[in-house]
Amino acid sequence: MEGLISRLRSLDAYPKINEDFYSRTLSGGIITIVSSIVMLLLFISELPLPCSILSLDAMDISGEQHLDVKHDIIKKRLDSHGNVIEARQDGIVLLRSYLQKDWDFKIEKPLQRHGGRLDHNETYCGSCYGAEASDEDCCNSCEEVREAYRKKGWALSNPDLIDQCKREGFLQRIKDEEGEGCNIYGFLEVNKVAGNFHFAPGKSFQQSNVHVHDLLAFQKDSFNISHKINRLAFGEYFPGVVNPLDGVHWTQETPSGMYQYFIKVVPTVYTDISGHTIQSNQFSVTEHYRTAEVGRLQSLPGVFFFYDLSPIKVTFTEEHISFLHFLTNVCAIVGGVFTVSGILDSFIYHGQRAIKKKMEIVTGFSNRIGLNDNILNCPAALDHN
C-alpha cells in the first residue's frame, strides 16, 4: 500500500513549493490521473467521425382524393398471435386469384348476361345491379360489384342478394377471418399541403360531398382498431432523423372508436460531407381517441393520420473542420483542464494545510492547559521542622 501511494505521489503534475523544494502529494497524483482521463476523452470527441376488411384512403385540402389505395401497398394477413398467414399486393386481379385459390368457389348454375342467358360463344358479363355506367359495363365478381357501387356513392347493404357475392361466399369469408389482423406496408405519394390518410374498414365513397365508408356489408356492430406502428416516415431516411411514431402500440379497450394522430411535418434538407443532398422531412405528433358515444354522431372506426406542413425548413450540413480549428480546440481542452485541475489541487492542498495548522494549535493549547492543571493541583510541601 505504501508503494502504491508513493507511485501516485510521483504522478503529481502540480508539485507544491515548500520553501526550497517541491512536495508531491497523494491528492495531487489522483487529480492528475482524473484530469488526464478527462483530457483524453475530450480529445477523442474532437476527432471528425462521419455518421451516416382495411382500405387505405388519402385526401388533402386541395380536394384531391385517393380512395382505396392499392398501388405500392402490400397486405399481410395475421392470425391472433401476430403470425403471417399470407402476404399479397392488394388489387382486383390478384384478389380474384387469391379468392379462387383459398376458397375454390364453384358455379352451380348457368351464368347470365345482365339477367339474360348467354348466347353462343358469348363471354359472361355479370350484372352490376343498377350501378352500371353504361349497358356495356360488366361486374364479374363481388369486388367489381362493390367497386361499381362505390363509384355511384351507394352502400352495399346485403351482399347475399348479389349473385357474385353469394357464389364467392363473401359473408362466409368474413366469418372465417374473424379474429385475424392485417399488416399493411408500402408507400403513397401525397401533395405538399395539409391532408390525411387513414386505415378504416369498408369501401369508401363520396356521398353529398361527405367521405363515407360502407360498413353495412360486414354486418358487424364493432371493429377492433388496436394497432402497432412499426415505422412511419415522411420522406427518405437521413442520419440523425427520429420518427416519433416508430414502435408505437395502442390497444383498444372500448367497443369502437376513431384513433387520431395529428402530425406536424417539417421539411428538412440534409447535405452530407460529399455534397449529396437528401430532401426529406421530420415530424412531431399528438394523439387523440374519439369514442362512439350513444346519442352522438358515430365516429368512423379506424386509424387516422392528419398531417400539416410547417412553413419552416430545417437544413443540416456536414462540413470538414479545419486542422487549425481542431488544433485550437485541443489546446483549449488541454489548457482548460490543466488549469482547472491545478486550481482544484491548490484548493485541496492549502485546505489540508490550514486544517493541519488548526489541529496543531488546538492540540498545543490542550497540552498547555493540562500542564497548568498539573501545577495547580500539585500539593504544597509543608515543613514541619
- Claim to verify: residue 345 and residue 294 sit in the same structural domain: no
Q: What pLDDT score does 262 carry?
A: 96
Question: Which among 302, 241, 248, 295 is positioned nearest to 269, based on CA atoms?
Answer: 241
pLDDT tens for 304-352 read 999 999 999 999 998 877 777 778 888 888 888 888 888 888 888 888 8
Q: Which of 319, 339, 364 is the last residue of a domain?
A: 319
Rg (CA), the chain: 41
- Claim to verify: residue 192 and residue 297 sit in the same structural domain: yes
- Claim to verify: residue 210 and residue 313 sit in the same structural domain: yes
- Claim to verify: residue 295 and residue 328 sit in the same structural domain: no
Judge contact between 270 and 247, C-beta under 8 A. Answer: no
Total domain count, the chain: 3
- Claim to verify: residue 263 and residue 164 sit in the same structural domain: no
- What CA–CA distance (Å, rounded) separates 217 from 239? 46
pLDDT tens for 173-227 read 777 777 778 888 888 888 889 999 998 887 777 777 778 777 777 767 778 888 9
**What average pLDDT does range 268-292 have in this prediction?**
90
Write out the residue range of the structural domain in which residue 246 sits. 49-69+188-319
Q: Which of 271, 301, 319 is the last residue of a domain?
A: 319
- Claim to verify: residue 256 and residue 305 sit in the same structural domain: yes
User: In 3-state terms, what secondary structure has residue 74?
Assistant: strand
- Whether residue 383 is contained in a domain is answered as no
- Claim to verify: residue 118 and residue 204 sit in the same structural domain: no
Name the average pLDDT for the chain. Answer: 75
- Claim to verify: residue 298 and residue 206 sit in the same structural domain: yes
**What average pLDDT does range 146-151 have in this prediction?**
83
Q: Which of 294, 319, 344 is the last residue of a domain?
A: 319
Question: Which among 6, 50, 48 is positioned nearest to 24, based on CA atoms?
Answer: 6
pTM of the model: 0.60
Residue 69 has pLDDT above 90, yes or no: no
- What CA–CA distance (Å, rounded) separates 159 from 163? 8
- Claim to verify: residue 193 and residue 310 sit in the same structural domain: yes
- Whether residue 80 is contained in a domain is answered as no
Strand partners, 40: none
- Claim to verify: residue 204 and residue 304 sit in the same structural domain: yes
* 100 vs 147, more confident: 147
Per-residue confidence band for 99, with pLDDT thresholds at 50, 70 and 90: very low
Question: Which among 77, 61, 296 is positioned nearest to 192, based on CA atoms?
Answer: 61
- What CA–CA distance (Å, rounded) separates 160 from 147? 16
- Claim to verify: residue 64 and residue 193 sit in the same structural domain: yes
- Whether residue 315 is contained in a domain is answered as yes
- Claim to verify: residue 205 and residue 312 sit in the same structural domain: yes
DSSP 257: E
User: In 3-state terms, what secondary structure has residue 212?
Assistant: strand
Residue 140 has pLDDT above 80, yes or no: yes
